[in-house]
Structure 1
Amino acid sequence: MMELRDVWAGYKVHGREHMVLRGVNATFWRGDAVGILGRNGAGKSTLIKVLGGRLQPKSGSFRHDPDFRISWPLGFTGAIHGSITGADNARFVARIYGRDPYEMEQEVEAFAELGSHMYKPVNTYSSGMRGRLAFAMSMAIDFDCYLVDEAIAAGDARFQSRFRNAMEERRDRSTMILVTHSAGILRDLCTSAAILQQGKLAFYEDLDEAISIYERL
């Protein structure tokens, strides 16, 4: 379980605080697949940073069960070490999360489909290859909650199929929070929705209702 209580958060613009989350309240349970809808600038990325532990709220609280493991945002490449190989990165993450390094290397290699590039320094990769490596490493860890940015969910048809299959395998035992402004992605992957507008989250069990309201904003 994860809980946000009266969370205020934002970022600095020309030295001044700009709050994009203004008293957000939310509870996410194991098995939830929630799509967060919001226009550009609504604060979706800020919300994901708070949930992922990369940004502390200015006020309010974010808490989760002590044994509830939350992923980094799927496809986030900032934690990848560019000077070492993809295989080295996979083994490094395996040790952090208590997995067998060799087994994880093999799983990541198969999922990312990087071929011989798996054994080359990551700083020689294209941005797409780095994203595939990061996503494959995420999928190799059994997280209790997966944070998903729409950029990773909106790849080519082959990648979307692999992404959906991977998330469906985890749906019964994991939480998924996906930020998007695509009705199609929401319908494909989520069971409920929330709209982030003017710093607040409004939740909807009916996806069509959420989409209809969002499209009128």
Structure 2
Amino acid sequence: MTKSVVLRNITKKYKMYSKTSEKLLDLISPKGYGEDFYALQDISFEAEQGDVIGIIGVNGSGKSTLSNILSGIIPPTSGEMEINGQAQLIAISSGLNTQLTGRENIELKCLMLGFSKKEIRNLEPEIIEFADIGKFIDQPVKSYSSGMKSRLGFAISVHMDPDILIIDEALSVGDQTFTDKCLAKMNEFKAQGKTIFFISHSIGQMKKFCEKALWIQYGRVKDYGLMKDVMPKYEQFLKDYKKMSKEEQKDLQEKAREHNDEERHNLEDKKPKKTFRNIMAIVIIIVIILFTAVMWMNQ
């Protein structure tokens, strides 16, 4: 089978600053400034054409961050990634300009993907019919409900005919009729051998639709394999997790993050120290000093 997605040691790091001045200090300090937060660490897996993969995990585990990386919305901090084909993310209001109308969003999205005006005219009625939001199609998206945004976003994305479809909780809003219509469209893609990633809190939908499961636990891959093998383990974890108090759940997350940090530090200690950041910090400091000196001499 042909590989459609390959991720090797993908990490996504964010910087957390307590105040704006720390952003500047982070640029010029050799050791950096601010607190590092790793949303994802060392994520590795492969997906083949025709795979339908459910991404599971409790809130705060990095599922949406992973979906944004897979769709190309945000880049990983480190690691290697191969995406063979066009990927489309479907999430509530993802990619929609709330100041534009629904119709204008359809036209803008199609133009950005290289569709001609003739192709857009032919495709637009199909998208509008699928979204089924009535006269709201000519109203600004900022006036839409979450369900209407989801309908429009789903309708636009599936009619772009992507090779890889990433659905992030887009079916968690809206009525059952629309959900059934979306699932039917996804089954069409499934029959065509497209790769689908499905994120949902509905375990029933997962079991019904997905063949594989990718379990993300606080930024790392906990398990990956056939749905029938992975889901029972996750369901047992959920039962135990729901019995915990809020404090116990928070403590579990903090311990998992601390363990991840410890493993990462151990790996970093084995790597040769990089001097690029130190050199850049020195260059920036020298430029600031020279600029200050020139301004002082010109006074």
Give the TM-score, by structure 2 length.
Answer: 0.66
Give the match for residue 131 of structure 2.
112
User: Which residue of 68, 77, 82 maps to 1:58?
Assistant: 77
Amino acid at match of 1:204: G
User: Would you say how many aligned residue pairs link Structure 1 and Structure 2?
Assistant: 213
Give the match for residue 129 of structure 1.
148
Q: Tell me whether 1:203 sits opposite 2:221 in the alignment.
A: no
Q: Tell me whether 1:214 sits opposite 2:230 in the alignment.
A: no
User: Per residue, is there more helix in 1 or in 2?
Assistant: 2
CA distance in structure 1 between the aligned counterparts of 2:141 and 2:203, rounded to whole angstroms: 34
Larger radius of gyration between Structure 1 and Structure 2: 2
CA distance in structure 2 between the aligned counterparts of 1:54 and 1:91, rounded to whole angstroms: 20
CA distance in structure 1 between the aligned counterparts of 2:149 and 2:203, rounded to whole angstroms: 27
Q: CA deviation at 1:70?
A: 0.3
Q: Tell me whether 1:80 sits opposite 2:93 in the alignment.
A: no
User: Per residue, is there more strand in 1 or in 2?
Assistant: 1
Q: Tell me whether 1:165 sits opposite 2:181 in the alignment.
A: no
Q: What do residues 97-141 of structure 1 show as CA deviations (whole Å, max 9, x unaligned)?
A: 344111221011101111111122223322321221111101111
CA contact (8 A) 1:91 1:104 kept: no
User: Which residue of 92, 98, 105 maps to 1:89?
Assistant: 105
Q: CA deviation at 1:193?
A: 0.9
Give the match for residue 70 of structure 1.
87
Structure 1 stretch displaced more, 52-61 or 94-103: 94-103
**Counterpart secondary structure, 2:90:** coil
Amino acid at match of 1:215: E
CA distance in structure 1 between the aligned counterparts of 2:209 and 2:13, rounded to whole angstroms: 28
Q: What do residues 16-49 of structure 1 show as CA deviations (whole Å, max 9, x unaligned)?
A: 2211321111111211100111111111111111
Q: Tell me whether 1:183 sits opposite 2:186 in the alignment.
A: no
CA contact (8 A) 1:154 1:185 kept: no
Change (3 A) 1:75 1:197: closer
CA contact (8 A) 2:146 2:173 kept: no
CA contact (8 A) 1:74 1:152 kept: no
CA distance in structure 2 between the aligned counterparts of 1:84 and 1:134, rounded to whole angstroms: 13
Amino acid at match of 2:79: G
Q: Percent identity?
A: 30
Q: CA deviation at 1:180?
A: 3.0
Change (3 A) 1:127 1:150: closer
User: Which residue of 9, 13, 16 maps to 2:12?
Assistant: 9
Amino acid at match of 1:69: Q
Change (3 A) 1:186 1:128: same
Give RMSD over aligned pairs.
1.9
Give the TM-score, by structure 1 length.
Answer: 0.89
Q: 5 Å matches for 1:97-108?
A: 97-99=113-115, 100-108=119-127
Runs of 5+ unmatched residues, structure 1: none
Whose relative contact order is higher, 1 or 2, with alpha carbons under 8 Å and at least 6 apart? 1
Runs of 5+ unmatched residues, structure 2: 18-33, 238-299
Q: What do residues 160-208 of structure 1 show as CA deviations (whole Å, max 9, x unaligned)?
A: 2011101001113311001234321211210111211243322121x23
CA distance in structure 2 between the aligned counterparts of 1:88 and 1:169, rounded to whole angstroms: 27
Q: Tell me whether 1:152 sits opposite 2:174 in the alignment.
A: no
Structure 1 stretch displaced more, 135-144 or 194-203: 194-203
Structure 1 stretch displaced more, 4-13 or 165-174: 4-13
